[in-house]
Structures are given as C-alpha cells and as structure tokens.
Amino acid sequence: MSAIRLDSTSELLLKANDIRVDIINMLLPAKSGHSAGPLGMADIFTALYFHTAVHDPKKPQWDGRDRIVLSNGHIAPVLYATLGEAGYFDKKLFNSLRKFGSPLQGHPHKGALAGIETSSGPLGQGLSQACGMALAARMDKKKHVVWCLTSDGEHEEGQTWEAVLLAAKYKLGNLVAIMDRNFIQIDGPTETIMPLESMAAKYRAFNWEVVEIDGNDMLEVVKALDAARTRAASGKVQPPLMIIAKTVPGKGVSFMENAYEWHGKPPNAEEAAKALAELRAARAKIKA
C-alpha cells in the first residue's frame, strides 16, 4: 500500500495545494515548461497517489504495485511534484527541473527517477504502453491495476485510437484510463483546432465503459477512482474503463485558469509571486 494514505477531504485538498505550490516553484527557476495542465491535474494526481492507487515509495519496484502511466508527458511537473511529496525522492531536486543532467527532464524518463513507469513525450503512445502492461498482467495472472493518464489533445493522434480498439477487443478490465478533458492545447481550444466532442460517445462506441466527472471536485474524484480500482482489481474480463475528468487548466491560479496561452508557458517572478499568494490564501481557506 501507499506509504502515505490520506482519507479526509481536507487532507487531500491541502496536499493538492502543496503540489500546486511545488509546480510553481519548479517552473520559476526552470524558465520553461507547462503550467496549465499540471495545475489542472493536481487533484487527480493527489487522489490517485495519496488515496486510491496501491504503491510503496519505499519499494518502487514492488511487483504488487499498480502501474501508473503518464501519456501526456509534458505535464511532468505535476508527476514530479506528486512523487516528491509521496517520498519517492528528495524534494531538493525540484529546483533542477529541465536543467542539463537533472533526472527531472521536461518529459519523464524511465530509470531517471523511482516511480516513473514509462518514458513519455511523443503524444499518443501512453495508452498503447498501458494496454501492453494490462495484457501482460492478465497473462501473468497479476492482480495490480494499470492506470493511464492521458490528455484530450492527444486524441488527435491516430495511435491513441488503435490502442482504444485493442483494449476493447481484449476486454482489458484491469485498465483504467483517465483523460484530462481541459479543452485546451498549445495552439488554442481543442474544439477550434480539432473538435473532439463527444468524447464519451466516441469511447462508448468503441466498447469502453465511461464515467464523466469534475476533475477538480475532490470528493467526486475520490469516489470515481475508488470505484474504478475496485472494478479493475476484480479480475473480471470486462471492458476497459475511461474516466473523463473535466478539469480547469491552470486551476488555483486565477490568471492562468482556462487560458490556453498557459499550456506551455512558465510564470515569471512577478507572476509566480502572485500565483503563490493565491495558493497560500486557498490553503488558509481549506484549513479554516
């Protein structure tokens, strides 16, 4: 099990706030990187790593662990912040984000840090990797769950849909995908660049089970993830599950929220100070 498990909503909200603070503090010295997606997914990552998923930071290669695959590797700051907060590595490394020789590269690299299951960067490949892991787990009669965190924008990649077809064909019920449906990509709104709706209808047409949630409502997130894990760990041969999490890109920082311009832009010193002030105020409100 996870070395740190938080059960109260307030504890989880405080941890998500900590992760958002870590993200801003990482991006500032890096002077490059992605802001909006990592901030928007902080609640999902918090619930997954600190409540639902089975893992042990002290035994990162434990065979019984859930496999957590990050497909949209550009939101690496939220993965690094979460792994650091969970105890996978020393948080002093946060200041080295995107620096030459640092294990905290712009996209996660398997083997560079404990807790990273796959290398990611080229979009659309993570779901295929997760399918392979889920199929292998079934063949080996393993009970762990395979989670795949994916973006809405990478559904413009054809390989994603090949993986969707394969997972449905083999009824990979031990696979849970979580889509960050934030409606933005680097060039603008997804529905302007390449309309994707209705994502739920598309997945259902491809014979997946689908759950839609507010990805920034901690109670809703925890409920959905817990139910998904119970289902996936049942051992039943059943359709894979897609959780479509509608998130606010830049969540927690008012001037970043819902602005696609922050997809791939870090804050400067003044912007970081403003963002951290808002997050400190949010923390005080949670604790009140």
The answer to whether 262 touches 37, Cβ cutoff 8 Å, is no
Q: Name all domains of the chain by residue range, CATH numbers in brackets.
A: 9-287 (3.40.50.970)
The structure's pTM equals 0.96
Instruction: Report the percent of the chain where pLDDT is more than 70.
Output: 99
| CA atoms of 267 and 31, how far apart (whole Å) | 8
Q: Reply yes or no on whether the pLDDT at 102 is more than 90.
A: yes
Once rounded to an integer, what is the mean pLDDT over residues 40-64?
97
- Check residue 159 and give left, alpha or beta (phi > 0: left; psi -120 to 50: alpha): alpha
Give the residue ranges of DSSP H helices in the chain: 9-30, 36-40, 42-47, 76-86, 126-139, 158-169, 190-193, 199-205, 218-232, 269-287
**At residue 210, does pLDDT exceed 60?**
yes
User: Which DSSP state fits 256?
Assistant: T
Looking at residue 6, its pLDDT comes to: 83
Q: What is the pLDDT of residues 256-266, one digit of tens each?
A: 999 999 999 99
Calculate the average pLDDT of the chain: 96
Tokens of residue 200, six digits: 């739920």
3-state secondary structure of 149: strand
**Residue 157 is encoded by which pair of tokens?**
């990649």
> Which tens digit of pLDDT belongs to each residue from 106-147?
999 999 999 999 999 888 899 999 999 999 999 999 999 999
pLDDT for 288: 82
Q: Assign 2 a pLDDT band (cuts: 50, 70, 90).
A: low
